[in-house]
């Protein structure tokens, strides 16, 4: 059975987001895959040792910096490596990761200015997953995930 790595905030359950709010995905296809046991949830930021709630953070080039200016790249790097380890352990078909996150975003992330401005870019976990050869989709691309699973 094909497995899919997913952002834990999409999977639901224990809160993992920086603000403690839920972003559980409700698309019926996602819920079906969950029920079938295909989904492998991971929150790179929690896996990296960060608490819930925590300060929001944004990418500034290779670094990830909290709103207060603290360099938290080490935690994001550790969590991104854990996401890759899980993807390999479960030999996932692909990953579905939460858009706009400095870890999980796959096409859009905040631009590092903390002004609410989005820019093209990838989160650190997605960067490492793609470097490891894992196909990554966002929660807005479930049509593509479905097509991939049908192949
Ligand atoms: S790091 Fe990823 S899984 Fe964790 S809360 Fe942020 S978007 Fe969700």
- Tell me if 83 sits within 8 A of 47, measured CB to CB: yes
Distance, in Å, from the CA atom of 61 to the CA atom of 63, rounded to the nearest integer, reads 5
Instruction: Count CB-CB contacts under 10 A for residue 6.
Output: 28
Alpha-carbon gap, residue 21 to 83, rounded angstroms: 21
Give residue 6's pLDDT: 98
User: Best of 5, 6, 9, 49 to mutate for ligand 1, by most ligand atoms within 8 A of CB?
Assistant: 9
Residue whose C-alpha is closest to residue 46's, from 21, 76, 6 = 76
Cβ of 45 below 6 Å from ligand 1: yes
**Interatomic CA distance for residues 36 and 93, integer angstroms:** 15
Q: Which domain holds residue 100?
A: 4-150
pLDDT in tens, 54-105: 999 999 999 999 999 999 999 999 999 999 999 999 999 999 999 999 999 9
pLDDT confidence band for 150 (50 / 70 / 90): very high
Q: What total number of domains does the chain contain?
A: 1
Does pTM top 0.85 for this prediction? Answer: yes
């Amino acid at each position: 059975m094909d497995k899919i790595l997913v952002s834990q905030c999409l999977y639901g359950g224990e809160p993992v987001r920086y603000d403690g709010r839920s972003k559980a995905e409700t698309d019926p296809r996602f819920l079906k895959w969950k029920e079938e046991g295909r989904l492998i949830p991971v929150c790179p930021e929690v896996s990296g040792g960060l608490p819930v709630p925590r300060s929001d953070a944004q990418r500034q080039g290779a670094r990830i910096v909290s709103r207060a200016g603290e360099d938290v790249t080490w935690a994001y790097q550790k969590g991104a490596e854990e996401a890759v380890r899980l993807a390999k352990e479960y030999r996932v078909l692909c990953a579905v990761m939460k858009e706009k996150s400095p870890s999980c975003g796959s096409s859009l992330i905040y631009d590092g200015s903390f002004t609410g401005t989005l820019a093209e870019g990838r989160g650190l976990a997605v960067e490492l997953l793609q470097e490891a050869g894992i196909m990554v989709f966002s929660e807005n691309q479930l049509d593509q995930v479905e097509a991939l699973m049908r192949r």
